[in-house]
Amino acid sequence: MRIPFNKPFIPWFSFRYLIRGALSGTIAGNGRYTKKCHAFFEKRFGFAKVLMTTSCSDALEMTALLCRIEPGDEVIMPSFTFMSTANAFLLRGAKVVFADTLPDIPNIDPDEIEKLITPKTKAIVVVHYSGLACDMDRIMDIAGRYGIFVVEDAAHAIDSYHRGKPLGSIGHFGTFSFHETKNIISGEGGLLIVNDKAHEKRAEIIWEKGTNRAAFYRGEIDKYGWVDLGSSYLPADAVAAFLYTQLVNFDRIQSARKKVWWNYYELLKPLEDQGLIKLPVVPSFASVNGNIFFVTVKTGDTRDQLIAFLKSRGISAVFHYLPLHTSPYFTGKHDGRELPNTNRFSETILRLPFYNALKKSGIRYIASQIHAFFQGK
Ligand SMILES: *Cc1c(COP(=O)(O)O)cnc(C)c1O
């Protein structure tokens, strides 16, 4: 059996809305399908204000502009994340301060955040790894006490919740990704959530190259001009049209993905019971959204041997993230603190194949091969 790591869900009718959009003659940004996507997210998750973006990386860049990050401002975030989380703030001259993760969940440790706060701290960025909610009660409490922004990098976390509240709707800003490896996809694409009313207008201006064009099109002003910093963060309506097919199938996609997640959990549980691997820990306030499935093993060597073993059996499993604080780009920029949990997760996490069409028989095969690996050891 050959099992790829990812198989993007692209039904043939994905092209229906694309063609419809093209025939209507408008395929630039903020068109008909962008508005339909916005309406979906606002209705489905109760987000106050959403803006589709060209990527989650760009949505994160918008949050750095919205927080008015200036050179020297400090931003606390996990080191165990994708580089876009850090790039967005470094591009504005911020000093990125990396915090360690919790020992049992690869999410940022609130105690570490609080230790790192200084008078220069302007924002905390949290990443809900694999869609598992960070401890938002504690993080919002810390941010409130020090008067700093919270940005949720919710790239993994669409349709996941913290005490029933959708992730992305809790901090000042939230960002999602529709890259082809995420739950719902448009190739490249993202979404910015603005939860604080005071920032809605400015978000729209930044989105439209620093102009008040969106307000102009709504007829709120009679001419538009350049009023702030900004960039071209809005995607072509063709991208939104592609995404819209995913949204029309949202429940179907999510139910398939959650099934894959729980099938893995159930079939790998015996290996955890034998002390051979660790399964994801789901805090009582968190939910499962079928984003990725990962296990942790005891050592980096075991992880690398297991990847090679699975590869020889036709199964494509992968690792991530290389810690940002030890990356080539960040060498000399980190303050030298050890981040032991980050390093351990980076060495021992294994991500298993994950896609909507992955059947239980496939997952059974993968689980049996992981079992065979440990029996051979
Ligand atoms: C995928 C990802 C991003 C970037 O998303 P893009 O849409 O590819 O820019 C940012 N942060 C995290 C945690 C991610 O996994």
DSSP of 141-195: HHHHHHT-EEEEE-TT-TT-EETTEETTSSSSEEEEE-BTTSSS--BS-EEEEE-
- Bridge partners (DSSP) of residue 226 are 211
Query: How far, in Å, is the centroid of ligand 1 from the Cα of 58?
Result: 9
| Residue 26 scores a pLDDT above 90 | no
Closest ligand 1 atom to residue 127 Cα is 13
Q: How far apart are CA 167 and CA 286, in angstroms?
A: 10
pLDDT digits (tens, 9 = 90+) for 261-304: 999 999 999 999 999 999 999 999 999 999 999 999 999 999 99
Closest ligand 1 atom to residue 129 Cα is 13
Single-letter amino acid, residue 320: H
Calculate the average pLDDT of the chain: 97
190 lines ligand 1 (CB under 6 A): yes
Q: How far apart are CA 89 and CA 126, in angstroms?
A: 13
pLDDT digits (tens, 9 = 90+) for 324-374: 999 999 989 999 999 999 999 999 999 999 999 999 999 999 999 999 999
Number of Cβ within a 10 Å radius of residue 42: 14
What pLDDT sits at residue 376?
84
Query: How far, in Å, is the centroid of ligand 1 from the Cα of 129?
Result: 11
Residue with token string 């790192």: 116
Give percent of the chain above pLDDT 70: 100
What pTM was computed for the model? 0.97
| Residue 122 scores a pLDDT above 80 | yes
Residue with token string 């059974």: 364
| Residue 166 scores a pLDDT above 90 | yes
Query: How far, in Å, is the centroid of ligand 1 from the Cα of 219?
Result: 35
Helix H segments across the chain? 14-23, 32-45, 56-66, 83-90, 110-116, 136-146, 200-207, 213-217, 237-248, 250-273, 300-312, 340-348, 360-376
SS3 276: coil
Pocket residue to mutate for ligand 1, from 128, 130, 177, most atoms within 8 A of Cβ: 177
Q: How far apart are CA 12 and CA 241, in angstroms?
A: 13
Band (1; pLDDT cuts 50, 70, 90): confident
What pLDDT sits at residue 131?
98
Query: How far, in Å, is the centroid of ligand 1 from the Cα of 373?
Result: 32
Band (22; pLDDT cuts 50, 70, 90): confident
Query: How far, in Å, is the centroid of ligand 1 from the Cα of 181?
Result: 9
Q: Please give the structure tokens belonging to residue 263.
A: 């099938």
Band (315; pLDDT cuts 50, 70, 90): very high
56 lines ligand 1 (CB under 6 A): yes
| Residue 377 scores a pLDDT above 80 | no
| Residue 117 scores a pLDDT above 90 | yes
Q: How far apart are CA 140 and CA 147, in angstroms?
A: 10
Task: Go through the domains of the chain in sequence order and give each one's CATH number.
Answer: 12-248 (3.40.640.10), 250-375 (3.90.1150.10)
What pLDDT sits at residue 266?
98
Q: Are strands 190-194 and 149-153 parallel, antiparallel or unpaired?
A: unpaired
Single-letter amino acid, residue 286: A
